[in-house]
Amino acid sequence: MQSLPDMDQHQFAQWQALLENRTGMRITEQRKVFLQTSVGMRMRELGLSDYQNYYDQVIEHPPGGMEWVLLVDRLTVQETSFFRHPASFELVRDHLSQQATKGKTIELWSVGCSTGEEPYSLAMLAQDTLSDTGCYFGITATDISVPALAKARQGIFSERKVEALSRERAAQYFTLHEKGQYQVIAELRDRVCFSQVNVLELGKTPMYGMDVIYCQNLLIYFRRWRRKEILNRLAERLAPGGILVVGLGEVVDWCHPDLEPVEDNATLAFRKRVSG
């Protein structure tokens, strides 16, 4: 297959700006090869050889258009795993135990949920923690990538991924789908509602009164001012007493008048004041 020429600096800057304006993600100079390869692969599928020509086609259509949906999926980093940062999940477990009162519904939100490992981890944790309490729970899981969400909804994972869980958890929450693949049980899948949300457009989403907002490994791709803006929007969506759990080191000097930091060196989390 014939390889495409290198993107020139002007073309690179155009693609960088388009991606950052529409998704918030910054592709730095060091990741130019990644951008070029991902865009180039898509162009070859379309039989195109001119970056400018493809760029013009992409911007002709709104961000909801099919081509943009496909391209965003190629350009986002979707790496994830079950219980990726154990200490953060421990924090959520403690919070759920404290919140559990009979008849209450606890709402959790996985922001930037990728292919589903994170929201299903939250669902397993909530089920373990709340099953005997008379508490109900629901998980909302959102991402910008439509193909990642489609995969997440199916809840089918490779044996290698499921092996990272304890034997008891794997046996309790997964069934064999086909050789080498396991599916999350329907009872747990039913607790998770997946939907497409761009975190740059949180104003359009109706989620409020969240008891847990879990947002990890998403903000790291954004500029610092944008990370803070998004956290401000997420803070508004918390219920009084709810927690916002971010990845360690993903934001350094952010604070919000209605939130107080959770004292725990192993995690980065904030709790909404009850009177806030």
Ligand X SMILES: C[S@@+](CC[C@H](N)C(=O)[O-])C[C@H]1O[C@@H](n2cnc3c(N)ncnc32)[C@H](O)[C@@H]1O
Q: Which positions lie near ligand X, rule CB under 6 A? A: 23-25, 76-80, 84, 112, 114, 118, 143-145, 148, 198-200, 216-218
Cβ closer to ligand X: 135 or 149? 149
As a whole number of angstroms, the distance between CA 195 and CA 148 comes to 11
> Smaller CB distance to ligand X: residue 127 or 198?
198
User: Least distance to ligand X from the beta carbon of 243, Å?
Assistant: 16
Task: Provide, rounded to whole angstroms, the least separation between the CB of residue 161 and ligand X.
Answer: 12
Could you tell me which of 236, 237, 199, 213 has the C-alpha nearest to residue 24? 199
Whichever of 78 and 133 has its CB closer to ligand X, that residue is 78
Bridge partners, 271 (sequence order): 243, 260
Cα 70 to Cα 75: distance, rounded to the nearest angstrom: 9
Residue with tokens 């004292």: 263
Residue closer to ligand X (CB basis): 183 or 205: 205
Q: Which two tokens stand for residue 152?
A: 């997440």
Is the CB of 43 or the CB of 141 nearer to ligand X?
141
C-beta of 215: minimal distance to ligand X in Å? 7
Of 122 and 135, CB closest to ligand X: 122
- Smallest distance from ligand X to CB 7, Å: 21
Q: Tell me the backbone φ, ψ of residue 71, rounded to 5 degrees.
A: -65, -40
Strands 259-261 and 181-184: unpaired
Give least dist CB 134 to ligand X, A: 30
Q: Give the C-alpha separation, 211 to 208, whole Å.
A: 9
Residue 244's contacts (CB-CB under 8 Å, 6 or more residues apart) are 213, 215, 231, 234, 235, 238, 259, 269, 270, 271, 272
Say how many CA atoms lie within 13 Å of 51 toward its Cβ: 20
Q: From the CB of 99, what's the least distance to ligand X, in Å? A: 22
